Each structure stands twice: as structure tokens, then as C-alpha cells.
Chain A
């Protein structure tokens, strides 16, 4: 188990959310979309131009820029 941030994961890797560091509206929005501690999240792919990244969480596909993904601390699940 390695702690890292969401933007460091590679496509196909799965992780569990430990903490959302973002504040204010961004944090709220992430929560509303299901990014809560304990949730499992999977990196699906990056966009053709390398950013944003597509994640799968709670059965939805969600896209996020790397700079937002930095704010989500996760532990990888092997």
C-alpha cells in the first residue's frame, strides 16, 4: 500500500480515497460526485492530449484535470 495522489496513478490502477485536500467549491463538487474517503476509484484513461483524466467511481465515469486530481490523496489497491 502506497500513498500517493490521484494524478500519479496510471490507467488501469485502482485506489482507495484517503483524503480530499481541496477546499471550498471544488471540494464540495468532488463530494457531490462521490469522491468521499473510503471510496474505490479506478483510473480509466487519460484524454488524447494527456489531460484531463477519466476515472470510474461509484459506477460513474468522471473526468477531472490533473491539477484537481493532485488534491485527492489515495492508497493504491493491488
Chain B
């Protein structure tokens, strides 16, 4: 390998800004793929800095390297097997103590390490006093202050990486595990050193520590070597379970000795937090408070976003009209005005919703309440076959199912995670809201809010029933253990919430944007072809397909126009409304669409209700299917998710429509 190439591994606990830092360093020069053999995402990228080509590999976020979760194995195997030149651990400056547990384990891997103390501004704002020099001395590694999202400290971090790479050797600090264990470590190390293959590949002390810590993965690693039997006999002579406990204890002891010298006033303030928790998790008030807060977040996400959506809509309508006015020939004006500008408009329309949602979620998370929410609802989630942590992805699902399904990564157990991924699509995302607003607003004007709330509730109920069903059939078994830290309450900072909002909001635009735009162009093409038909009429491809599937949807009360728009809801749910506008020949004018719907003899309250139920439950959109495939790593599960959603949607809409007809 040439001397001017440096390989850097990024590690850290989840949610410390690792991805943001990675994006800041590598910019657009990224490669996203999977780690060999597993479905854990691998991201790497390059950066030229002062004549060096720095390759950055983003390792999965983990709290520790011992609990054998897929993420942890991937992270430590990379460091041990691939031997990156430098390992950078990103440490959340507002939660140093917790982060240090991982540090103590990384130190043993024998690599050159750097700590990036991220979001230090937030810690200082809070009144913490960080002693960076002490930290460097105690940990025996460089510490760089960074604010990843503001691009602060990135260049210094890269300078430090280069400086570390050039150092001949490094003195890594090691944790002493006490006389008894240490003597065993030496004994095991001695045996291991007899096998050259091992000594050249792994730091022996680390191997010895892991073996004495009862690490089955490592035991498997050495099982083929000549010393395997000898090691086995040593391990049999000691009480591994006791060692395991002693070693964990020692790590904690070291941290509690080191920490006060690194940071003053950073101690967790439990007493106040405890007082707050008395109320928030109160036996009687806890659940109502939880529901009220969720409802408040919901109300803000949707009501307060409205005017911003109006502004965006006005801009795009104006753009579309301007395009239609100036561009010739007419078909091109239509493609650009209705197809492309309309499509981009429908991507941007949801930005206010998504931004506000992520802002509020970040507030909830930073305040510490989100963990309490998991604590409060775990019992219920467990009863339905999920767990408290499944709640967060499901809550995110109300904004957009795509980040929600991505958020299931925090669930370690594969079965729990699969079950959560399968039920998230029933959670009504922001993109489905325009359908409800249109139909509830048109047919239930006085009680539109209540109707919409009930639709959301139905989504939750179906998700619950489905989880229960999955747990008794394909994903049989109980949820994994629930061992969760409840961080102390804190006042969330505006700055952090805005960062979070921006990161996730822009991700939505990138992830969903192209698909929605593509879908809009496809709609336009199908509506405009074959050549010469009136746009969106019965003779267009759209009309033909709509008529073809109408018999299937007839029992739900849907005519061909609705069938067509639902078909295109596959691309993205918000297109349902747009395509209805096209089919009724009113374009983007919602008021005109409302009038046309009211005037349509096929449309009445029950149809509207049935349509809302169907829209709620059938396959969310192509982006979600894509992300399910990516996260489950299986086409079978992806196909199941789509088919199951359609079946449930049809069944419930059928019940609503036919039941409603009987009652009337």
C-alpha cells in the first residue's frame, strides 16, 4: 500500500453524529454496500487531505463490543481483521461516561485511536467543563473537538489522523483486570503465541481477554489452530461466568475513576430527573400524559405545517402555469407543467410535515422522554409481540415509513426487528394524509378531524393485530429481552433539534424525491398516451388499466377513476390526490376537486370512508418496498409485506363499504 493512503474506521455509540461526520468528511464520494455475508450496511468514502488519500469506513454504531449482536461483530471484525490505520471513535460530549464503555473495549483492539469529542458546544452550553488535555493523557490518545454538523473540527481531525498514521508506534492504555485475571491473561497469551498464524493476525492480549470473557465467536476463530485444545483446557479450569462479571466490573471501575478528571459538572443529575419521572411515569397519569404529548406532537406536525404547505403549493402552481403559458408545443408544456413541476411539487409539499415531525421527535429524544415512552409502552408492545423499542420506529412511521423502517436498526433481535418492519407500513405516514384531508374534508367536513384521527387509530390497530398474528405464525416466539437505559431528563436544545430536523428532512428529499418525480412522469405518460387521446381520459392507458382492475375493487365501492388513482398510489400515496385531480379534469385545484367529488353520483360518505381505509392499509409506496428489501435482505419478506397489505386493505375496506351500505 502506498504511503500516502490512510484507512480510517469510524466507530461510536448510535446517535452520536457518526453519519453526519462521515458525510462531512467524504462529501459525495461515498460507496454504500453491505458487509460481506450480512445485511448490515457498509458505507465507505474517500477524502483527499494535504496530499493523503484518506479512506473512511463507517462502522455500525454500537454501545459495546461484547454482546454479539451482528453490528458489534461486524464492527470489531473490521478493526481486528482489516487493521485500519486509525480508528476514530466519535464520542457524544454530552454523554461521555456512557460512551467510554465502548472506548475501554476499543483500546484493547490494539489500533491507533483518536477520540472525536462531538457536539462539545452543546455540552459547554449546558455548563459542562471538558478537560480535553486530561482526557488525552488518561486515555493515551488524541482528542479532537468537533461539531460535525457545522463542519467544525473536521480538518483538525484529519490532520490528527495523518499525524497518528505517521507515528512509529503508539502506547495504548490497557485496562488492568486485577491480579488473578491478569495472570490468566498472560497464561493464555503465552499459549496463543505458539501459533504464528494467530500472533500475526490478532493482538494476543485482546484474544486472551476475549477468550477469558467467554466470547464464543473468538473461540470459533481459534478452533482450527494447533493451540485450540490447550486453550480449551485452560478455559475449563476457570469460572468463565465469574470472569465475565469481574471484567465488566473492572471496566466500570476504570471509567468511574477516569471520568471525573475529564469533565467537571458532567455528572448525571438524577434527583431532579427522578422527580420529573415520578410524574411522567406515574401509575395513573403516566399513560394519559404520554398520549397527550403524542397528540400534541401530532397536532403541531399537521396543523402548524399547513400554511407552509400552502406557500409551497402556491409556488408550484404558479411555476406550472407559467410553464404552460410559455412553452410550446403544448404536449411539452403539459409534460413539464403537470408531469415534472407537479411531481417536484408533490415531493416538496411534505417538507414542512417531515421537518416539523423530526424536530419534535428530536426534542422528545433529547429530553429523555422517548426512552420513557418505550418504558411506558413496553408492556403493551410486548403483549402484541413487539417491544418498547418498536414504538419509536412506529412513531416515526407517522412521518414517513422509510426512516421508520430504517430506525428498526436499533432493535437488536432479528425476529423483533422483522416483526416491526412488517407492521410499520400500516402506520399512516404523512403522504397518506392528503387523501384523508381531501375525502374527510369533503364528505365529513364538520367531523373531519375525528374521522382522520380514527383512520390513524385503525392503522395502529391493524399493526397491532398483524404483529400478534406474525408472532403466532411465521415469526413465532417471544420478543428479545428489554434492557434499556433511561437517560436523565434534559432540556433539549434548539440547535440540536434543528440539526436533526435538517439531516432527516434532507434525507427524505433525497430518498423519496427521485421516486416521486419518476412516478409523476410515468403518470403523465400513461395519461397522455396512446398518442392523441385526451389527457387522462377513459381512452388513455390510465383509463384502460383502471377499467381493467375496477371489477376487483367494485365491492369496495370504487369506480374506475378511484381504481386508477389507487393504482398509481403504488408509486407514492400523495399521487392518489394528484391523479384524481387529473382524472376529474381539475388539475391542482383542490377546491374544484372537492366540488367535483361532491357532484359525482358514485361518491358518498361510505365510499370515502372505504377509500380512506384502503389507502391507509395497502402498500405504502415504492420507496418503502425498496427499503424493506434493503433492510430485510429478502425478496420473500418484501413480497409478503406487499401481498399481506393488499389483502388486509381489501378485506377491511370491503367490511366498511358493505357494512355501511347495510346500515344506511
Contact = CB atoms under 8 A, between A and B. Distances in A.
Whether A and B touch (Cβ < 8 Å) is answered with: yes
A59 B376 contact: no
Most buried by A among B268, B273, B484: B484
B268 A60 contact: yes
Q: For the side of the interface on B, what is the size category?
A: 35 or more
Given A44-B274, A47-B378, A48-B284, A29 B248 contact: no
A14 B284 CA distance: 25
B485 A61 contact: yes
B378 A65 contact: yes
Nearest to A39: B249
A33 B255 CA distance: 13
Contacts of B375: 47, 52, 54, 63
Contacts of A9: none
A67 B278 CA distance: 24
Contacts of A36: 245-246, 248-249, 252
A43 to B, nearest CB: 13
Contacts of B484: 62-64
Contacts of A34: 248, 252
A32 B101 contact: yes
Interface in B469-521: 481-488
Contacts of B242: 37
Contacts of A31: 66, 244-245, 248
A47 B376 contact: yes
A54 B484 CA distance: 9
Nearest to A32: B64
Interface in B252-268: 252, 256, 268
B49 to A, nearest CB: 35
B176 to A, nearest CB: 16
A47 to B, nearest CB: 5
B382 to A, nearest CB: 7
B244 A56 contact: no
B287 interface: yes
Nearest to A33: B483
Contacts of B378: 47, 51-52, 63, 65
A61 B483 CA distance: 11
**Chain B binding surface, main DSSP class:** helix
B315 interface: no
Interface in B226-276: 241-242, 244-246, 248-249, 252, 256, 268, 270, 273-274
A62 B402 CA distance: 30
Nearest to B383: A49
Most buried by A among B242, B246, B249: B249
Nearest to A65: B482
A64 B246 CA distance: 22
Q: For the side of the interface on A, what is the size category?
A: 35 or more
A27 B244 contact: yes
B274 A58 contact: no
B277 A28 contact: no
Contact of A59 (B241, B244, B270, B287): B270
Contacts of B286: 47-48
B251 to A, nearest CB: 9
B190 interface: no
Nearest to B379: A49
B311 interface: no
Contacts of B245: 20, 31, 36-37
B106 to A, nearest CB: 14
A29 B376 contact: no
Contacts of B548: none
B640 interface: no
A25 B339 CA distance: 53
B63 interface: yes
A35 to B, nearest CB: 8
Contacts of A45: 277-278, 281
A32 B248 contact: yes
Most buried by B among A34, A45, A48, A52: A48
Contacts of A38: 249
B380 interface: yes
B66 A28 contact: yes
B107 to A, nearest CB: 16
A26 interface: yes
Contacts of B651: none
A75 B270 CA distance: 24
Contacts of B241: 20, 27
A62 B486 CA distance: 6
Contacts of B304: none
B67 interface: yes
Given A48-B284, A49-B376, A58-B256, A32 B485 contact: no
B380 A49 contact: yes
B68 A68 contact: no
B15 interface: no
Most buried by A among B268, B281, B375, B380: B375
A65 B382 CA distance: 10
B282 interface: yes
A47 B483 contact: no
Contact of B67 (A28, A44, A68): A28
Nearest to B65: A32
B283 interface: yes
Pairs A-B, 9 closest by C-beta atoms? A49-B379, A48-B286, A31-B248, A61-B486, A36-B249, A36-B245, A32-B64, A28-B67, A51-B379
Given A20-B245, A63-B375, A63-B482, 9 more contacts: A25-B67, A29-B481, A31-B244, A32-B63, A34-B252, A37-B245, A52-B375, A52-B379, A56-B270
Interface of A: 20, 25-34, 36-39, 44-45, 47-52, 54, 56, 58-65, 67-68
23 contacts: A26-B483, A28-B68, A28-B244, A31-B244, A31-B245, A32-B63, A32-B67, A32-B101, A36-B245, A39-B249, A47-B375, A47-B379, A48-B283, A48-B287, A51-B379, A54-B277, A54-B486, A60-B98, A60-B485, A60-B486, A63-B375, A63-B483, A64-B483
